[in-house]
Structure 1
Amino acid sequence: MPPYLRVGSLPKKRHIAHRREPGFRDEGIAYEEVVTSCGFGRAYSILYHLRPPTRVRKVEAAGSAVVERVAEPALRHHHLRTGSIRPAGDPVSGRVPLLVNDDVMMARCRPVEPQAELYRNALADELVFIHRGRGKLQTMFGPLPFRPFDYVVIPRCTTYRLEFEPGTEEPALLVIESAGLLGIPARYLNPDGQIRLGAPFSERDLHGPREPVAVDREE
């Protein structure tokens, strides 16, 4: 019994025509897109677009950053003083990797610039802990407000922009990139899919976008 989130206008059934007049080029419909992280056999979302989602003007690489791994023959404790990391870049380019292995990368980020370009991580799910700052995560699912001490889950292949409210405190983020799919651990779910009563969080702590986003233009 997973939670079901409905935002905006939907047809009565899946995979049928969703009439919208006049529509793109007078076709009179909204365009359905099924978004998944791991094929049609796992969790999915169904989106409806004003224009065909296949109409992509341009896709560019965001650049690459080589993460240097430091060899450590003997395991020892470290105190990572991340508060001294200098503010730089935007919420994507300003990330400073701290810990990394084949499964996960943890980075701190203290952005000083707005995220001008849309970004999509095709290789990893992202979990962003908001240490400081308020704003909205803008995605095709709709705007998602966030505030300090929120955890923001961004599934892989989600096109997004992190926007911070002007005039608020300097943003500070902890970003975790996971090669595996992020989800609620099975030990916290009962056989019916609800979060167990003894779990450290409940459905009341979770929220998604509350309103649709409609951008009817090409750039």
Structure 2
Amino acid sequence: MTKKPWISLPIREGIHSRQAHCDLPKNTYERELGREGFFGPVTQMHHRHPPTGWTSFEGPLSPRAFDLLKMDNHVSNPWELSPFLFNENTHLRLWTLSQSMDHLVRNSDGDELLFIHQGQGDLFCDYGHLSISEGDYLVIPRGSAWRLETQTGLTLLLIENRDGCYRFPDKGFAGYNAVYDPAALDYPRINDQFLNQQDENHWDILVKRLDQVTRITYPFNPLDAVGWHGTNTVVRLNWRDIRPIVSHSYHMPPSVHTTFIGQDFVVCTFCPRPIESDPGALKVPFYHNNDDFDEVLFYHKGNFFSRDQIEAGMVTFHPCGFPHGPHPNALEKSQNNPATFTDEVAVMVDTRRPLHISDNAKAVEIASYANSWKTTGQEPS
């Protein structure tokens, strides 16, 4: 008996391309109807009109965009922040830390994935010391005590994995070293900087459990380890160490950019890469439904080649239930004057369970975003 949980019948009907995302029939728009986050059964539909050519969008199911840098997120510890998007498996927060922490924090609800959007500094944790800077991911296992020091200030995207450990993606036939070589991962060291911060002063650990905070006070610095061994630790990866899988003749699906896997969600990183050069290949993300996942994109830096008027620090949110894809101007440019390289850096979170929007995110929403796919009409402001 097959292990595949779906019916698989490759069928061709009407006017269609020979392969997905390549050599589309003239005057048609391709839309992918996919399941299981680009890993399940899939159909390429060919339309006379853009699948995002709506004239209005009313109701709670709508494409959303938020300018997160307008939120009041300057706090001394991350547990003071409400998530801007959340479900049973993950909470997403944006945190601005203006000065070094004078206490420790511990998450007993799940693993934390920190992405450094701006700034540089130092991480001190149970396992030792790590320098951190813009573009770093930090995977912090559940139950770890940690704090950050900074002279410049830090802005961080926090992605909480509330049920299970973060894991590496299955790289399949691409091999163990594909996308990023595990040898590029760094871990904390018990170095002089770590040993020198150990003292006999009073220290607090703020522990988050069931989203409630408990303060535990010690008459010494609990980060007093002198050594350790094992496989459970903090790891650091910078997006510059990611080597995207690309093809000159085929636009790769977002799943090929998977960086970490959480419980019922994935974290992907879009990095600078050459754009497809084959004349018949689609050169922007294809219209798609992705009907089992909600999609969140945090824009870190660069020119976001498939979006208009999106800047660093913004987030777009596309819940499953409607097609989305490139903005009209980006699609037209890709057809008439295609670029050869994209320098964008963005973090994508795809969640199996529906995400909820918090009130603080609604306060910084770009209300006209749903209209931004119109060929005429109001653009985001």
Unaligned runs of 5+ in 1: 1-72
Which residue in the other structure is 1:171 paired with?
154
Which residue in the other structure is 2:168 paired with?
184
Q: In structure 2, which of residues 170, 182, 193 is the aligned counterpart of residue 203 of structure 1?
A: 182
Change (3 A) 1:205 1:106: same
C-alpha distance in 2, partners of 1:159/1:83?
A: 27
Identity fraction in percent: 28
Task: State the TM-score, normalized to the length of structure 2.
Answer: 0.34
Corresponding pairs, count: 140
Q: Which amino acid aligns with 2:176?
A: R
Matches within 5 A, 1:29-108: 74-93=60-79, 95-108=81-94
Is 1:150 paired with 2:150? no
C-alpha distance in 1, partners of 2:81/2:119?
A: 16
Change (3 A) 1:142 1:189: farther
Q: CA RMSD in A?
A: 2.6
Structure 1 contact 143–209 (Cα < 8 Å) conserved: yes
> Highest CA radius of gyration, 1 or 2?
2
Shift of residue 171, structure 1, vs aligned partner:
1.5
Which residue in the other structure is 2:114 paired with?
128
Deviations 1:31-73 (A, max 9, x none): xxxxxxxxxxxxxxxxxxxxxxxxxxxxxxxxxxxxxxxxxx7
Deviations 1:155-178 (A, max 9, x none): 0000111111x1x2x311100111
Pick the structure with more strand per residue: 2
Secondary structure at 1:89 match in 2: coil
Structure 1 contact 94–111 (Cα < 8 Å) conserved: no
Structure 2 contact 100–149 (Cα < 8 Å) conserved: yes
C-alpha distance in 1, partners of 2:131/2:75?
A: 22
Secondary structure at 2:65 match in 1: coil
C-alpha distance in 2, partners of 1:129/1:196?
A: 24
Structure 1 contact 91–162 (Cα < 8 Å) conserved: no
Q: Which amino acid aligns with 1:182?
A: Y
Pick the structure with more helix per residue: 2
Structure 1 contact 109–172 (Cα < 8 Å) conserved: yes
C-alpha distance in 2, partners of 1:200/1:134?
A: 25
C-alpha distance in 1, partners of 2:133/2:183?
A: 16
Structure 1 contact 139–159 (Cα < 8 Å) conserved: yes
Which fold has the larger relative contact order, with Cα–Cα distance below 8 Å and residues 6 or more apart in sequence? 2
Which residue in the other structure is 1:21 paired with?
none
Task: State the TM-score, normalized to the length of structure 1.
Answer: 0.57
Structure 1 contact 137–161 (Cα < 8 Å) conserved: yes
Deviates further, 73-82 or 170-179: 73-82
Q: Which amino acid aligns with 2:186?
A: H
Secondary structure at 2:78 match in 1: coil
